[in-house]
């Protein structure tokens, strides 16, 4: 296949999955098998694409002009390719996991569920391949819309409220700030095409824009890209946790949030250009905003007893690492940020898979109820432990490397021109990692070493009312409490989470390769 064909095959396969989903909706087995097959094809296509892109070939294609002067066009660069690879490989595992999870839960509307999933993957890929801000923006918005039905899948009042926050924050930031930022960028630069070295650099060099204006523009981007969940616009992410766990896993640990931080990195590298950000100092405030966000989010995560909520806040914190990488704008920090997209994706999806598996097997979603579960579910909690290491940044988790490069970035900035205050950010990274340990490691530890509480009927009841905002899943699945009371979750759930846990370790050893492939984006 030619390069163009590969590119469009990569974009078309998720849509094919969508169509096949609806065609075979009457036969769930056939439907889910085709999705897995299509997803595998997609991975194959993406690997072929990646081998082209990483060997330095230019894969680009223009689709059509949507509005006079603004076209939908794709050009794959290393960062986008890496993101696409992560998203497409995790899609296969999530589909398998999703089948296990959704069926164990007897969820309704599974066809719509997997259909929307495919559209979300499509928009993630379109975002990854986009050649200009316009295309990226459209893919970004499409993703918001396609994931809304997933977030509100249960159709309950709680789902509605979660969906309201989700859509409200994501739409208001993207329409209110991001669209304005795009229009302004076009006004300044005369183009929205991504360019290594940044499209705003010329305007800045010729003093057509002031630093104040650029700072405001950067703020419009930073807060307009709501999916990057920089505090204080992170609230949609915990709200999205009302979704079934496969959604939280792939979308709110990988696709949706990563599109956000990917957007931030693209803006930093290809719109402003790291040279400009570095020399004009306009992103210093963003470094601190991200620094504060990552420490605060970790602190909030510690207070959450609901496992998914804790993981959601952990995600908020980890996304801020990537935003920090983009804002620091040194070669190492940008590579660290890009790398963390992959590392965090694999680590966090494992944690969510585990959370879902625990829920499927035991119907427990509060950490305080999970003592002693490790003996019952050794694989799940083992995977949880390994993935935790990845998130924390301890070897042999892949996260060690990305955090290392980010820390190096802060030190570089600190040494550069005597801006020693950047050491505060180095400290923030360290503190945050310690906090990560504090909120993640106790979970598997208590599961393996703790003794299960033997709750009386009344206790269990009291606990429920203490956590007043109970998920609706609880209600219509209580009947299956008995049959799952012992052992691991279904194999379709356990195998994917073991795979991703192993993946997070494997990434530790291939970090050098990732560094190599990301290196070109830091060189003008």
Partner 1 sequence: MIEHLPILQVVVPMIAAPVCLMLVNRRLIYLFSLAVCWLSFAISVALLGQVLDQGMIRYEIGNWPPPYGIEYVVDPLNAFVALFVTGIAAVVMTYAPKSVAVEIPEAKQHYFYALFLVCLTGLLGIALTGDLFNIFVFLEISSLSTYALISLGNSRRAPLAALQYLIMGTIGGTFFLIGVGLLYQMTGTLNLLDVSMRLRELALVDEEGVYYFQQTRTLRVALAFMTVGLAIKMAVFPVHNWLPNAYTYAPNVVTSFLAATASKVAVYALIRLIYTVFTVQFAYDLLPMRFELIVLSLIGIFAASLAAIYQTNVKRLLAYSSVAQLGYMILGVNMINPSGLTGAIVHMFNHAIIKGALFMVVGCFAYRLGSVQLDDWRGAGRRLPWTSFAWVLGGLGLIGVPLTAGFVSKWILLMAFVSNENWILAGAMLISSLLAVVYIWKVVEVVYFSEPSPKVLESKEAPWSMLVPTYVLITVMIFFGCHTTYSAGIARRAAFMLLGVPVE
Contact positions vs partner 1 (CB under 8 A): 64-68, 70, 137-138, 141-142, 145, 152, 155-157, 159-160, 164, 167-168, 171-172, 175-176, 179-180, 183-184, 186-187
184 vs 366, which CB is nearer to partner 1? 184
50 vs 119, which CB is nearer to partner 1? 119
- How far apart CA 269 and CA 276 sit, in angstroms, is 9
Relative to beta strand 70-76, strand 59-67 is antiparallel
CB 381 within 8 A of CB 447: yes
Structure tokens given for 458: 């009344």
145 vs 498, which CB is nearer to partner 1? 145
CB of 112 to partner 1, least distance (A): 10
> How many CB atoms are located within 10 Å of the residue 56 CB?
8
- How far apart CA 246 and CA 252 sit, in angstroms, is 9
137 vs 359, which CB is nearer to partner 1? 137
- How far apart CA 284 and CA 286 sit, in angstroms, is 5
> How many CB atoms are located within 10 Å of the residue 469 CB?
9
217 vs 294, which CB is nearer to partner 1? 217
Per DSSP, what are the bridge partners of residue 73? 62
CB of 118 to partner 1, least distance (A): 16
CB of 138 to partner 1, least distance (A): 4
CB of 442 to partner 1, least distance (A): 37
CB of 184 to partner 1, least distance (A): 6
CB of 419 to partner 1, least distance (A): 33
Structure tokens given for 58: 């230019």
CB of 178 to partner 1, least distance (A): 10
What secondary structure does DSSP assign to 25-65, as a single string? Answer: TT-HHHHHHHHHHHHHHHHHHHHHHHHHHHTT--EEEEEEE
70 vs 439, which CB is nearer to partner 1? 70
164 vs 476, which CB is nearer to partner 1? 164
DSSP state of 366: B
Q: List CB contacts of 468: < 8 A, sequence separation 6 or more.
A: none
151 vs 390, which CB is nearer to partner 1? 151
Structure tokens given for 31: 């439907």
Of 205, 193, 256, 191, which Cα lies nearest the Cα of 228? 256
Structure tokens given for 188: 């300044």
CB of 67 to partner 1, least distance (A): 5
């Amino acid at each position: 296949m030619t390069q163009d064909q590969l590119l469009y095959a990569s974009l078309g396969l998720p849509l094919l999955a969508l169509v096949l989903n609806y065609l075979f909706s009457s036969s769930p087995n056939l439907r889910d098998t085709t999705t897995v097959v299509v997803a595998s094809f997609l991975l194959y296509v993406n690997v072929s694409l990646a081998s082209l892109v990483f060997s330095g070939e230019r894969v680009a294609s223009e689709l059509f002009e949507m509005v006079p002067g603004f076209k939908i066009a794709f050009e794959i660069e290393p960062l986008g390719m890496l993101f696409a690879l992560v998203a497409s490989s995790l899609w296969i595992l999530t589909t398998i996991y999703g089948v296990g999870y959704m069926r164990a839960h007897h969820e309704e509307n599974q066809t719509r569920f997997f259909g929307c999933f495919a559209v979300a993957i499509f928009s993630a890929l379109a975002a990854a391949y986009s050649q200009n801000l316009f295309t990226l923006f459209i893919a970004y918005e499409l993703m918001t819309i396609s994931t809304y039905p997933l977030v509100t899948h249960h159709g309950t009042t709680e789902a509605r409220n979660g969906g309201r926050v989700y859509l409200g924050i994501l739409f208001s930031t993207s329409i209110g700030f991001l669209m304005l930022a795009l229009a302004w960028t076009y006004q300044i630069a005369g183009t929205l095409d991504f360019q290594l070295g940044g499209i705003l650099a010329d305007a800045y060099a010729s003093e057509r824009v002031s630093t104040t204006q650029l700072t405001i523009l950067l703020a419009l981007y930073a807060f307009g890209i709501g999916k990057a969940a920089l505090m204080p616009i992170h609230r949609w992410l915990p709200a999205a946790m009302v979704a079934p766990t496969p959604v939280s896993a792939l979308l709110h640990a990988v696709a949706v949030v990563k599109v956000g931080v990917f957007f931030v990195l693209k803006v930093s590298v290809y719109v402003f250009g790291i040279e400009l950000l570095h020399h004009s100092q306009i992103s210093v405030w963003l470094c601190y905003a991200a620094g504060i966000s990552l420490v605060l989010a970790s602190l909030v995560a510690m207070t959450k007893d609901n496992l998914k909520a804790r993981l959601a806040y952990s995600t908020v914190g980890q996304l801020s690492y990537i935003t920090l990488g983009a804002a620091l704008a040194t070669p190492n920090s940008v590579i660290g940020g890009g790398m963390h997209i992959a590392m965090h994706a694999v680590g966090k999806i494992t944690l969510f898979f585990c959370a879902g598996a625990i829920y499927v097997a035991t119907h427990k979603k509060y950490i305080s109820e999970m003592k002693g579960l490790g003996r019952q579910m050794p694989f799940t909690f083992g995977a949880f432990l390994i993935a935790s290491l990845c998130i924390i940044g301890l070897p042999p988790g892949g996260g060690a490397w990305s955090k290392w490069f980010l820390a190096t970035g802060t030190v570089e900035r600190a040494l550069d021109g005597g801006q020693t205050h950047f050491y505060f950010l180095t400290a923030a990274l360290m503190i945050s990692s310690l906090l990560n340990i504090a909120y993640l490691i106790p979970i598997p530890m208590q599961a393996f070493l703790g003794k299960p509480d033997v709750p009386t009927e009344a206790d269990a009841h009291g606990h429920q009312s203490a956590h007043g905002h109970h998920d609706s899943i609880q209600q219509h699945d209580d009947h299956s409490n008995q049959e799952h009371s012992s052992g691991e979750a279904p194999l379709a759930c356990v195998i994917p989470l073991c795979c991703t846990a192993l993946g997070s370790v494997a990434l530790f050893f291939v970090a050098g390769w990732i560094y190599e492939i990301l290196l070109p984006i830091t060189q003008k």
